[in-house]
Structure 1
Amino acid sequence: MPNMPKQERAIRTRATLIEASAVRIAADGYVATTYAKIVSDAGLAVGTMLFHFQTKQDIGRTLVEEAEQRMTAATEHDVPGVDGVEYSLVQLAELVASSAVVRAGLRLSAENVATLELQAGRPQLLLLERVTQLLIGAHQRGEISTAVDVYTLAEALVEVFFGACALSLALSAGADLPARIGRALPVLLARIPAPAA
């Protein structure tokens, strides 16, 4: 790789630092994570870290932003209505299970709001907005009963997702979240009243 252009090398180095930071913060938390641990995990020099991230807050905010971008991308699809809600939550569960960046971002969003000057509950609010949009579409297409309050239903589904997510992160570092969501969703979605015939 000696002939690799500087910009490409810088992008790869930054990605390596983000991933090493994510793995460490997802496992140990923000307070216990140090520059020294991250650069050791990444196999890079402290100066390299400082070139890309001047403070630990910079790392934390970057991880939260990256996690939010990945979560938003996972819910941007063409599957409409209730099927779209299910698809979104399954995609997110798989993303949490597979991505240290998303797990770290969620942990930082939950534990370090003041330190990182974050909006409290932002990942939850982003998902709530998307699920609400999908349910409004389902309502308009006559997929669900007009008696269903789509806003309350959206909140309940997001609460179940993030409750399962918190339990999964505590018990299996997110590995069993797809199975948890896979068990919960059919039960919850089956209980949504259909439109009157």
Structure 2
Amino acid sequence: MPRQERAIQTRRIILETAAEMFDQLGYDATTIGGLIDRTRLTRGGLYFHFTSKEELARAVLDEAVTMEGLAPQTFKLQEWVDLALLLAHRLPREPLLSASIRLSVDVKARGMFGTRWPDWIAVGQDLLTAARERGELLVHVDPQETARMFVAAWTGIQLVTETLPDGDLSTEVSGFLRLTLPNIARPGVLAKLDTSPTRAAHLLAPEAGSPATGRP
């Protein structure tokens, strides 16, 4: 394996392992010593990529805003829905995403590094603004307000769901979308939106194309 490729791979292993520890243990209880034990790297090998726990936390948060699986749809509102469903599907499977929320709700870490919630609000606002310009939203809907409220609600759903023994984030987010979309989407658009909890898995499947309408 070429040296540069090996370095990229090692950096990724460190970052993902740190994310697992932040997610499982919290920011304070995560230590460089523990990370070295888990990755089996030397201290010098780790410090070549990351010089401190603080730098690792910032790197994890930098990975938080991700559009993987999102594809153009007939309705911009479907893209907004898809993003919520994709994150619900991916978060339990990807420690980097889960750790970004754990760091964001940790009072100490939040005070040091901030959060990526403003970035998520901006992404949602852009999609909802495009949907409004296409006539997909009810006239009273404000994209910025809706994006802020939805990020707050999505985060709350995630935090509650992970404490439930039978909680499934995709199912919960799908249900929340079904409750809220009638107050956001025009009836003709609403009828064509797909909010099913399995939609994200379809979008992420290697053979998945880009559905021309809301429904796959």
| TM-score after normalising by structure 1 | 0.82
Match of 1:138 among 128, 131, 143: 131
Gaps of 5+ in 2: 189-216
Number of corresponding residues:
184
**Are 2:97 and 1:102 equivalent residues in the alignment?**
yes
**Are 2:122 and 1:129 equivalent residues in the alignment?**
yes
Q: Is the 8 A contact 1:144 1:195 kept in 2?
A: no
Higher helix share goes to which structure?
A: 1
Who is 1:90 aligned against? Answer: 85
Gaps of 5+ in 1: none
| TM-score after normalising by structure 2 | 0.75
Q: Is the 8 A contact 1:97 1:178 kept in 2?
A: no
Residue-by-residue CA offset, 1:29-63 (whole Å, 9 max, x unaligned):
11101112112111222221122111111111111
Q: Which moved more, 1:84-93 or 1:43-52?
A: 43-52
* Structure 2 counterparts to residues 27-106 of structure 1, below 5 A: 27-68=24-65, 71=66, 73-74=67-68, 77-79=71-73, 80-106=75-101
* Equivalent position SS for 1:146: coil
Using the TM superposition, give the Cα deviation of residue 6 of structure 1 relative to its aligned residue in structure 2, in angstroms.
1.7
Q: Which amino acid aligns with 1:20?
A: T
Residue-by-residue CA offset, 1:73-126 (whole Å, 9 max, x unaligned):
2486423422121111001112212110111122223320233xx23xx42211
Taking every aligned residue pair, what percent have the same amino acid on both sides?
27
Who is 1:188 aligned against? Answer: 180
CA shift in 2, pair 1:86/1:148, >3 Å: same
